[in-house]
Chains A and B, each alone.
Chain A
Amino acid sequence: MTSEEPASEPGQVLQLPTSARATDIALDELELVYAFIYARVGNRADAQDLTQQVALKAIPRLREGAPASAIRGYLFATARSVLGAFWSTRLGLSESELREDLAMPIALGPPSEEGTETVQQILAQLSDNYRRVLELRFLHGYSLKEVASEMKSTVGAIKVMQLRALRAAAKVRPE
């Protein structure tokens, strides 16, 4: 399998090798990539590693003066490929087994609250208890003990509920 490489389209050519401005343009595009990756791995260290991998893979394409219209598409295709390798390596799965999880929308504008909105859509489709446990734990940062106290339950029961709620959240397809 190879990286997805969108066909080049006619358009303005970026003069990257000598232009500091071109570097800024590339960095701004990589900001989008970083936000996209962070929203899927949930931590800075992995997001930085993966963004750097995208940059390294994209450098030859950027240097060749690819049409501006293709730069973003290429970067996000590369980001998907890198994310696929990340998850398949971490979970010991082939990328084909992760295909469904990788069917991710591409951000077309500046970094937004895309991830947050998606999560709100997912939470809205869960049962009250599942939504509550995930909101308290993830969005409010409660410990298991605090969640148990808030929901008048035990830590053990909350742990099980958290697992079931995450499984349920994984099955929700946001609109």
Chain B
Amino acid sequence: MNGKRENRIDKIVSDLLRGRRLKLRGGDAEEKGAITAAARLAAARQGSQRMHPAFRKSLASLLEQEPKQDRVTRRAALVAGLGLAAGVAGGTLLGRATQPGIMPVAGATIDPVNGRWIDVAAMSDLVEGQGKRVKAGGVGAFLFRRGQTVTAVSSICSHLPCELWWDRSNTHLACPCHPASFHPDGKPTDGYALPALNPVQVRVTTAGRIEVLGTE
């Protein structure tokens, strides 16, 4: 591990110097000092920053629209979305979830009330090792084939409610909203300790069709 740290840190440095987001893993914690120093140095290279005009405009819109919304609904939406990312009650929820020794809770299997089996694909449509996105009414899922077995996980990120996409080159499910990604079995790929994706119920018929337990 020690011999690779300089490579890992250089990858983080290179990303920062290209203006990319910080994509860190749990193991990076041992170098937190070096990483936070790298972030400050990368910022110093750019000098003091002002908001991009488009971003400032979006913030203005946010500030001005808020009073017109129903407060309870809006607040609930914020808690479900960005409020969660900010950390409800000062980031305590996410902070606690990432403490060593506290594992995230795996998502419950999606079991819709009055669910029904929906035909979504043929076995031959699936490529071994590649995810395929399907919709079973109101349930979105990614299917994965391994031999004659098919598994499915929710297509909604467990962190923010964004639709995941299949990153073919990295063979994982990636979130478009934040740097979160998941293995085909739904577990997070790195040490962010996010909850696993919700499993989706799936079955293969004798005719080689794949059905997902979804909704009308």
A positions within 8 Å CB-CB of B: 1-4, 16-17, 20, 23, 26-27, 30-31, 34-35, 38-49, 51-57, 59, 62-63, 81-82, 84-95, 98, 101, 111-116, 118-120, 122, 134, 137-139, 141, 144, 159-160, 162-163, 166-167, 169-171
What CA separation (Å) do A31 and B58 show in the bound complex? 13
Indicate if the CB atoms of A2 and B89 lie closer than 8 Å: yes
Q: Is the interface of B mostly helix, strand, loop or mixed?
A: helix
Instruction: Tell me which residues across on chain B come within 8 A of A57, comparing CB atoms.
Output: 83, 86
Residues of B within 8 A of A47 (CB): 49
In the complex, what distance in Å separates the CA atom of A119 from the CA atom of B47?
11
Contact sample, A vs B, 30 pairs, CB 8 Å cutoff: A2-B90, A3-B89, A16-B63, A23-B63, A30-B59, A35-B49, A39-B44, A40-B39, A40-B40, A42-B38, A43-B16, A43-B19, A44-B19, A47-B49, A53-B86, A55-B62, A81-B87, A82-B91, A85-B91, A88-B95, A88-B98, A94-B98, A95-B90, A111-B48, A111-B49, A115-B43, A116-B48, A134-B41, A138-B13, A160-B6
Q: Residue among B28, B44, B178 with the most chain A CB within 10 A?
A: B44
**Shortest beta-carbon distance, B170 to chain A, in Å?**
19
Q: Please name the 9 residue pairs, one residue from A and one from B, whose CB atoms are nearest each other, closest first.
A: A85-B91, A170-B33, A42-B42, A85-B87, A53-B86, A42-B39, A166-B34, A119-B44, A138-B41
With both beta carbons as reference points, the residue of chain B lying nearest to A138 in the complex is identified as: B41
Number of interface residues, chain B, beta carbon within 8 A: 68
Which of B34, B46, B52, B62 contacts A163 (CB under 8 A)? B34
Chain B nearest CB: distance from A8 CB in Å? 18
Give the distance to chain A from B102, nearest Cβ to Cβ, in Å.
10
Task: Using CB atoms, name the residue of chain B closest to A23.
Answer: B63
> Roughly how many angstroms separate A89 CA and B23 CA in the complex, as a whole number?
11
Q: Which residues of B contact A144 (CB under 8 A)?
A: 10
B165-197 Cβ-contact flags toward A at 8 Å (1 or 0): 000000000000010000000000001110000
Partner of A91, one of B24, B46, B64: B24
